Amino acid sequence: MITKFQVAYKNLLRKRVRSLLTLIGIALSAWVLVSLLGFNQGYETSLNKDIDNMGFQLMIMAKGCPYEAATMMLKGGTGLKYMKESIMDDVAKEPEVEKTTPILMAAVFDPNKGESGGVAGYFGIEPKSFIEMKPFLKFRQGGWFTEENGYEAVMGYEAAELEQREVGDMILIPEKNVQFKVVGILSRTGTQDDGTIFVPLKTAQKVFGKPDEITTLGIKVKKGIDSTRFEDKMYQLPDVQVVSLAQVKQTIMQLISTAKVMVLSIALIAILIAMVGVINTILMSVHERFQEIGILKTIGAMPGDIFKLIWIETLMLCAIGGVLGIGLALILSKVTGVVIRYLLPYSPSGGLVLIDLKLILFTLAAVLCIGLLSGLYPAWKAGRIRPLEAIRSEIG
Amino acid sequence: MNQNMISIEAENLTKVYLRGSEEIPAVNDVSLRIKKGDFISIIGPSGSGKTTLINLLGCLDNPTSGELCLAGRSIFNKGRRLSERELTKIRREIYGYIFQSFYLIPTLTVMENVTLPLTFYRKPDTENEAVKLLKLLGMEHRKDHLPGQISGGEMQRVAIARAMVNRPEILLADEPTGNLDTKRSAEIVQVLQELNRNAQLTIVMVTHNQGLARCANRMFEMKDGKICQIAGKP
């Protein structure tokens, strides 16, 4: 005995091109849906990871100082403001503080960098406290500095790659005429650390002429501390700004929220188009089989049977299209990531499109729901075909 | 007569169609009694109402007035109208239908077409019915063919098997040979005669073809919505 599934399946094969086109429509919309939702959660996950990888939740800097490397580079290393190193002791006294690490940022124009010269970012750091903040840093080659005030440098992955540096090479800070020996090269972190050259804080202070001064104090607060209240407290210190990473994140998220609204609208439109396509296909197929459906009723099919038959057809189209679309999204997620990265003003470094099982199941369920909804009207219409009307055309 | 011996009993069956404000009685006060195992044919010109009559007898349509009993069950009486669901339920228990255009599903094989009614409704002990019927109708070797791959006569045999697969009590044949040549037509009517004799199947056949109509036990003629017997035992 033949089942309703087989009947529905065989009917879809009848008009192969039409079924295929509908299938492609559904697959494309499922692809768009899963990719965009994947982007939605991927972007945030990557951003969070980026921010966690900074290792500290708060930074204190002198008022008006650019607070991250990119801005500093853009300004060509000018506009940096400095604080006394002693501020560290004041902050460390606060009960909420778990760890602090001082940083002296500096940017140096290097005429040999790139084609027309470029700015190299230097971070003077205190290896001990810095490593504690970022235990996840790994070395591709070599290791940390051996002396607190030696002329040694650790290069971020991209910085080393760009200049083709190996451990043991000497790098020159042109303006200062000082040479550093490369002792370590970090593995890729996917953060701004990749483009940075790290040197010991004390040496940096000497070389850049800022004794006992720092630009940034990274702070890690103890677990369970209300960071907003702590921020307010830090603002009591004279002439400082407090930058929380939550704030940074929020700024970025706001920046892309318009883009997100846009992509979700696109997804919605894609789904609507697919839905209309499905309804059209099934309605046409019902219309073409007007007599056939009437005959099914004379041979014993109830209106409900016909309804089911047509509904199954819709569901099959949507299920197959959905699976195809999700597969497409999985295969092309890297490409999607690249395209989105190109379109957005700022993107974190990790994977931008995160498609997990939950999202896959959600999309599949969504596509099936769309199928069920789209099939409703054609199926209902088919169920109402009266056998007499269907065969009347023939008998006189 | 014993009620169990009567397949179809129609009493003053009337169907009026409205064309504009004009009332057209397509079937006008028809009374008819068909015994179990009888084979009747109805002839008549186009527009004589024979198709409307067979639709009423076959529960494809509600009559305007009159009564109808099928296999001892009262179907239409006192102007009660049946819903599509109720009509379907009666049809699938009592009737098998064959039509001029066969109406096989082109995407399904011969075997699948024959077993299709069982997908929707299944009487007990019908497991091997399809195989038996295809063998009986000489179509066993074609069971995996698609309708497009077989001849018209063969298609009608498949349609007959499909109509018979749920062991109906009555077979309604509406111009079953309308699309066939003389030789194939004669063969189909012969098949119907055999089913009638061997399976005690009641058959009501509508046809244009007087010669074929004569193969039935009784022959009726429809004219202007009225019916009268013109041949066979009363």
| pLDDT tens track for B196-234 | 998 889 999 998 888 889 999 999 999 988 998 887 776
Question: Which residue, A238, A273, A296, sits at the end of a domain?
Answer: A238
B51, B84, B112 ranked by CB distance to A303: nearest: B84
Q: Which of A298, A313, A386, A392 to mutate to test the interface with B (most CBs of B within 10 A)?
A: A298
Q: Flag whether residue A302 sits within 8 Å of chain B, measured between CB atoms.
A: yes
Q: Flag whether residue B101 sits within 8 Å of chain A, measured between CB atoms.
A: yes
* For residues A340-355, average pLDDT: 73
Instruction: Write out the H or E segment, with its range, that includes residue B232.
Output: none
State which residue of chain B sits closest to A384, comparing Cα positions.
B84
Residue A155 sits in the same domain as residue A18: no
What band does A395 get if pLDDT is binned at 50, 70 and 90?
A: very low
Question: Is B85 close to A305, i.e. CB distance below 8 A?
Answer: no
Residue A168 sits in the same domain as residue A26: no
What band does B168 get if pLDDT is binned at 50, 70 and 90?
A: very high
Q: Tell me whether residue A56 is in a domain.
A: no
What band does B113 get if pLDDT is binned at 50, 70 and 90?
A: very high
Q: Return the structure tokens found at A194.
A: 């990749």
Q: Tell me whether residue B87 is in a domain.
A: yes
Question: Is B99 close to A3, i.e. CB distance below 8 A?
Answer: no
Residue B171 belongs to domain with CATH number: 3.40.50.300
What band does A396 get if pLDDT is binned at 50, 70 and 90?
A: very low
Domain that holds residue B175: 37-62+80-231
Residue A156 sits in the same domain as residue A276: no
Question: Is B88 close to A7, i.e. CB distance below 8 A?
Answer: no
Residue A17 sits in the same domain as residue A105: no
B47, B89, B97 ranked by CB distance to A299: nearest: B97
Question: Which residue, A191, A215, A238, sits at the end of a domain?
Answer: A238
- Residue A74: pLDDT above 70? no
Q: Flag whether residue B166 sits within 8 Å of chain A, measured between CB atoms.
A: yes
- CB-CB neighbors (< 8 A) of A302 in chain B: 85, 88-89, 120
Give the pTM.
0.70
Q: Flag whether residue B91 sits within 8 Å of chain A, measured between CB atoms.
A: yes
Q: Between A83 and B78, where is the model more confident?
A: A83
Q: Between A138 and A79, where is the model more confident?
A: A138
Question: Is B174 close to A13, i.e. CB distance below 8 A?
Answer: no
- CB-CB neighbors (< 8 A) of B108 in chain A: 2, 7, 10
Q: Tell me whether residue A246 is in a domain.
A: no
Question: Is B108 close to A2, i.e. CB distance below 8 A?
Answer: yes
Window from A3-7, A45-49, A80-84, B82-86 with minimum mean pLDDT: A45-49
Q: Tell me whether residue B15 is in a domain.
A: no
Contacts of A391 (CB under 8 A, 6+ apart): A291, A294, A295, A298, B60, B99, B103, B174
Q: Tell me whether residue B226 is in a domain.
A: yes
- CB-CB neighbors (< 8 A) of B99 in chain A: 295, 391, 394-395
Question: Which residue, A238, A268, A293, sits at the end of a domain?
Answer: A238
Q: Which of A292, A299, A392 to mutate to test the interface with B (most CBs of B within 10 A)?
A: A299
Q: What is the pLDDT of residue A322?
A: 92
Residue A96 sits in the same domain as residue A26: no
- CB-CB neighbors (< 8 A) of A394 in chain B: 99-101
B17, β-bridge pairs: B24
Nearest CA to CA, how far is A8 from chain B (Å)?
10
Residue A259 sits in the same domain as residue A388: yes
Nearest CA to CA, how far is B115 from chain A (Å)?
6
Question: Is A395 close to B100, i.e. CB distance below 8 A?
Answer: yes
Residue A276 sits in the same domain as residue A338: yes
B219, β-bridge pairs: B41, B231
Number of domains in chain B: 1
What band does A327 get if pLDDT is binned at 50, 70 and 90?
A: very high
Q: Tell me whether residue A293 is in a domain.
A: yes
Number of domains in chain A: 2
- CB-CB neighbors (< 8 A) of B51 in chain A: 395-396
Q: Between A71 and B73, where is the model more confident?
A: B73
Q: Between B127 and B166, where is the model more confident?
A: B166
Question: Is B99 close to A395, i.e. CB distance below 8 A?
Answer: yes
* AA identity, residue B220: F
Q: Tell me whether residue B1 is in a domain.
A: no
B67, β-bridge pairs: B11
Q: Tell me whether residue A247 is in a domain.
A: no
Domain that holds residue A302: 4-50+252-392
Nearest CA to CA, how far is A299 from chain B (Å)?
6
Q: Tell me whether residue B97 is in a domain.
A: yes
Question: Is B84 close to A386, i.e. CB distance below 8 A?
Answer: yes
CB A152 within 8 A of CB A180: yes
A300, A386, A391 ranked by CB distance to B120: nearest: A300
Q: Tell me whether residue B150 is in a domain.
A: yes
| pLDDT tens track for A87-138 | 888 888 888 888 888 988 888 877 776 666 777 888 899 888 888 888 778 8
Q: Between A347 and B225, where is the model more confident?
A: B225
Residue A266 sits in the same domain as residue A378: yes
Q: Return the structure tokens found at A286.
A: 């019902």
Q: Which residues 107-136 in chain B show a CB within 8 A of chain A?
A: 107-108, 112, 115-122
Q: What is the pLDDT of residue A140?
A: 87
Question: Is B85 close to A2, i.e. CB distance below 8 A?
Answer: no
For chain A, what is the HEC assignment? CCCHHHHHHHHHHHCHHHHHHHHHHHHHHHHHHHHHHHHHHHHHHHHHHHHHCCCCCEEEEECCCCCCHHHHHHCCCCCCCCEECCHHHHHHHCCCEEEEEEEEEEEEEECCCCCCCEEEEEEEECHHHHHHHCCCCCEEEECCCCCCCCCEEEECHHHHHHHCCCCCCEEEECCCCEEEEEEEEECCCCCHHHHEEEEEHHHHHHHCCCCCEECEEEEEECCCCCHHHHHHHHCCCCCEEEEEHHHHHHHHHHHHHHHHHHHHHHHHHHHHHHHHHHHHHHHHHHHHCHHHHHHHHHCCCCHHHHHHHHHHHHHHHHHHHHHHHHHHHHHHHHHHHHHHHHHCCCCCCCCCCCCCHHHHHHHHHHHHHHHHHHHHHHHHHHHCCCHHHHHHCCCC
- CB-CB neighbors (< 8 A) of B97 in chain A: 298-299
Residue A187 sits in the same domain as residue A76: yes
A4, A13, A388 ranked by CB distance to B61: nearest: A388
Q: Tell me whether residue A243 is in a domain.
A: no
Q: What is the pLDDT of residue A321?
A: 92
- How far is it, in rounded angstroms, from Cα A4 to Cα A393? 27
Q: What is the DSSP letter of B139?
A: -
Question: Is A303 close to B106, i.e. CB distance below 8 A?
Answer: no
Q: What is the pLDDT of residue A72?
A: 61
Q: Return the structure tokens found at A295.
A: 């005959």
Window from A116-120, A279-283, B11-15, B174-178 with minimum mean pLDDT: A116-120
Q: Return the structure tokens found at A176.
A: 């200062």
* For residues A320-345, average pLDDT: 84
Residue A214 sits in the same domain as residue A348: no
A298, A302, A394 ranked by CB distance to B97: nearest: A298
Residue A217 sits in the same domain as residue A313: no
